[in-house]
Structures are given as structure tokens and as C-alpha cells.
């Protein structure tokens, strides 16, 4: 659901993610609306919004109205941390670091599916791209959603493999939701049900390398496991691999017999705790990835059953 007063608050100079998180928390506690917040000086003071920032909020009314209409016209959803449709697994994985607002276009029910993320260089070798595509094909054959960052190279190869083989994919953007375009490589395969675009950035934000690094945490946070295809010793993929290990997201690493330069850090990640993916009969063996997902799905089922029983006891 889109709330134009939330947009008015978030668009204002002097308001960042910390202030938005404080606002969301306050509204949950007091049962107030975004309209109440931006029109009540005392509520704003409770989250330490200075008078100068309050004035900026007032000046954003027209821009917020325009953006509100544009998002509505494009069928884009805004999900705050309070929203029941906000991905719970993302909150579990990132905790206090999860983005306070997500902008989504497509089938938001994909947030609730079992998913595996991919990371890899934009300059991944042809061999690496082929392996990545095969991994994605095997995953969608098991009804698993593929998540990646919508960049050329590894990302686009797995998005395409998933969609072309009748699967689902989540594209995590490094720009605002109004700035992406359906790329020609996958355009013909996209339907209303099989694809979801998601961005943590304000809708008109243009792509930049800093945001490309930041969005890696969303890819990881939406995924039950990550597959690292090829990584150099620095850059976005290297950072994503380290972040996956840091938050204890199971990391699987393509284990090349003779790594290309674009995969020179793959052995590093295997030594650091990543599980190697090796070939069997010419195809990547993802059996260990599937084992992790099966264990995770079983755990979720048991948790849901326990939650249901607790609710039943309260009735």
C-alpha cells in the first residue's frame, strides 16, 4: 500500500533511514498515521526531528503527491517494516540493518518463496556463466526462486535461466524502482507471476556503485543460501561473499580446477568457510545446496506448526 504522507516524510532533506525507522516504531507504538506524524510537532520531536527538518517536510507535499501518483500508475507497492507483506526472512537476516522501506514491482508473493541468491563478476568467464545458468536451472526444477542483482554478467545469466526454464526470479536493484527497465535479455520471458523487482532506494535514485554494494545485503537477506560464481580479490562480489559469511548465510562457491582471473578469490572463500560446488558428469553438483534448503524448509514448517498450536491454545 502506498501512503503519500510516508513519501512526504521520506523525501525530505534531513530525513534518512534512521529517522524513518524511528518514525515507523513510533507509529506502531502510538497507533498514529503518517498524516498525524508530519502534522504534529510534538510527535516529530519524539523522534528528534528538528524544526528545520519539519519545515522541509512541509515543502515536500507537492513532490510527494506527484510521486504517489506515478507509483500508483505503475502498480508499485511500498512496504514498510510494519507491513505484513514485508519479507520476514529479510528482517530475520539483517535485523536492525534491514531497510525501513522497500519499493516493489511484480509478484510480491515471491518474498514468501524458498530462494537462493547468486553473486558474481560482471566480467564472469563464459565457463562461469554456463555454470551459473546450470545451477539456476537445477534450482527452478526444484521450485526454488533465484535472486540476484540485475546487472550484466552473472546476474543476468541466472535471471534469464530461471525465467526461460519456467521458474521465478527476484531482481534486486541498485537504483530506484522508477529507473529500471525490463532488459531485452529477459523481456520475452517475464509474466505477472514469475518476476519481482525490488529496491531499497527512493524511486528516482539513479544507479551508482555505492548503492550496488549496499543492495548486496538485500540479495543475501532474501536468500536461504548464496552461490558465489566468480570473485576477484576486491569489488562487489568479494564484498558480497564476505557479507554472506558474516551473517551466517550458507555460502556455496564454484570450485574451478583452474580458476580464471575473474575467479581468483574463489579458493579464498572456500578456505574461509564456503562449501565448494564441483562438477559431476559435466554439470555442477548442487546437492549440498538442496540439503540446506530442505533443512531450512523443515525448520520453517515446524516453526509454523508451533505458532499455529500456540494460537489454537489461545482460542
pLDDT in tens, the chain (315 residues): 579 999 999 999 999 999 999 999 999 999 999 999 999 999 999 999 999 999 999 999 999 999 999 999 999 999 999 899 999 999 999 999 999 999 999 999 999 999 999 999 889 999 999 999 999 999 999 999 999 999 999 999 999 999 999 999 999 999 999 999 999 999 999 999 999 999 999 999 999 989 999 999 999 999 999 999 999 999 999 999 999 999 999 999 999 988 888 999 999 999 999 999 999 888 999 999 999 999 876 555 444 434 333 322 232
pLDDT score of 63:
96
Contact between 125 and 263 (Cβ < 8 Å): yes
How does DSSP assign the chain, residue by residue?
---HHHHHHHHSTT--HHHHHHHHHHHHHH---HHHHHT-HHHHHHTT--HHHHHHHHHTHHHHHHHHHHHHHTT-EEEETTSTTS-HHHHHHHGGGS-SEEEEEE-GGGGGS-EEEEE--TT--HHHHHHHHHHHHHHHHTT-EEEE---TTHHHHHHHHHHHTT--EEEE-SS-TTT----HHHHTT--SSSEEEEESS-TTPPP-HHHHHHTHHHHHHT-SEEEE----SSSHHHHHHHHHHHTT--EEEE--SS--GGGTTHHHHHHTTPEEE-EETTEE--HHHHHHHHHHHHHHHHHHHHHHHHHHHH-
Percent of the chain whose pLDDT exceeds 70: 94
Q: Which CATH architecture has domain 108-295?
A: 3-Layer(aba) Sandwich (3.40)
Using CB atoms within 10 A of its CB, is residue 274 exposed (0-12), middle (13-18) or buried (19+)?
A: buried
Instruction: Give the whole-angstrom CA distance, residue 243 versus residue 220.
Output: 8
pLDDT score of 298:
58
Instruction: Give the whole-angstrom CA distance, residue 93 versus residue 91.
Output: 6
pLDDT score of 301:
46
Instruction: Give the whole-angstrom CA distance, residue 9 versus residue 235.
Output: 34
Instruction: Give the whole-angstrom CA distance, residue 127 versus residue 235.
Output: 20
**201 phi and psi, to 5 degrees?**
-100, 160
Rounded to the nearest 10 degrees, the angle between the axes of helix 61-73 and helix 4-11 is 130
Distance of CA 263 to the CA centre of its chain: 24
pTM comes to: 0.92
Contact between 158 and 136 (Cβ < 8 Å): yes
pLDDT score of 163:
98
pLDDT score of 103:
97
What number of residues does the chain have? 315
Distance of CA 291 to the CA centre of its chain: 23
Per the listing, cell 502498480 goes with 75
Instruction: Give the whole-angstrom CA distance, residue 72 versus residue 224.
Output: 31
**191 phi and psi, to 5 degrees?**
-125, 180
Amino acid at each position: 500500500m502506498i501512503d503519500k504522507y510516508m513519501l512526504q516524510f521520506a523525501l525530505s532533506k534531513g530525513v534518512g533511514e534512521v529517522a524513518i525507522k524511528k518514525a515507523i516504531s513510533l507509529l506502531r507504538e502510538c497507533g498514529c498515521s503518517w498524516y498525524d506524524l508530519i502534522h504534529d510537532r510534538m510527535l516529530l520531536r519524539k523522534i528528534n526531528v528538528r524544526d528545520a527538518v519539519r519545515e522541509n517536510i512541509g515543502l515536500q507535499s507537492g513532490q510527494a503527491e506527484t510521486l504517489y501518483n506515478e507509483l500508483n500508475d505503475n502498480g508499485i507497492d511500498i512496504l514498510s517494516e510494519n507491513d505484513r507483506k514485508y519479507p520476514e526472512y529479510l528482517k530475520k537476516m539483517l535485523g536492525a540493518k534491514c531497510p525501513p522501506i522497500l519499493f516493489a514491482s511484480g509478484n510480491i508473493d515471491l518474498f514468501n518463496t524458498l530462494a537462493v541468491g547468486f553473486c558474481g563478476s560482471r566480467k564472469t568467464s563464459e565457463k562461469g556463466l554456463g555454470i551459473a545458468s546450470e545451477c539456476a536451472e537445477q534450482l527452478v526444477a526444484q521450485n526454488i526462486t533465484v535472486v540476484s542483482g540485475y546487472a550484466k554478467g552473472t546476474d543476468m545469466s541466472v535471471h534469464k535461466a530461471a525465467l526461460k526454464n519456467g521458474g521465478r526470479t527476484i531482481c534486486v536493484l541498485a537504483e530506484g524502482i522508477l529507473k529500471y527497465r525490463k532488459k531485452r535479455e529477459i523481456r520475452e520471458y517475464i509474466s505477472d507471476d514469475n518476476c519481482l523487482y525490488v529496491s531499497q532506494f527512493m524511486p528516482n535514485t539513479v544507479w551508482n556503485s555505492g548503492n550496488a554494494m549496499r543492495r548486496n545485503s538485500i540479495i543475501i537477506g532474501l536468500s536461504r543460501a548464496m552461490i558465489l560464481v566468480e570473485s576477484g580479490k576486491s569489488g562487489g562480489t568479494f564484498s558480497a561473499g564476505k557479507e554472506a559469511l558474516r551473517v551466517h548465510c550458507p555460502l556455496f562457491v564454484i570450485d574451478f580446477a583452474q580458476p580464471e582471473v575473474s575467479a581468483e578469490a574463489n579458493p579464498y572463500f572456500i578456505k574461509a568457510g564456503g562449501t565448494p560446488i564441483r562438477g559431476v558428469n559435466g554439470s555442477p553438483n548442487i546437492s549440498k545446496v538442496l540439503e540446506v534448503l530442505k533443512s531450512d524448509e523443515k525448520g520453517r514448517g515446524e516453526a509454523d506448526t508451533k505458532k499455529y498450536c500456540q494460537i489454537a491454545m489461545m482460542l
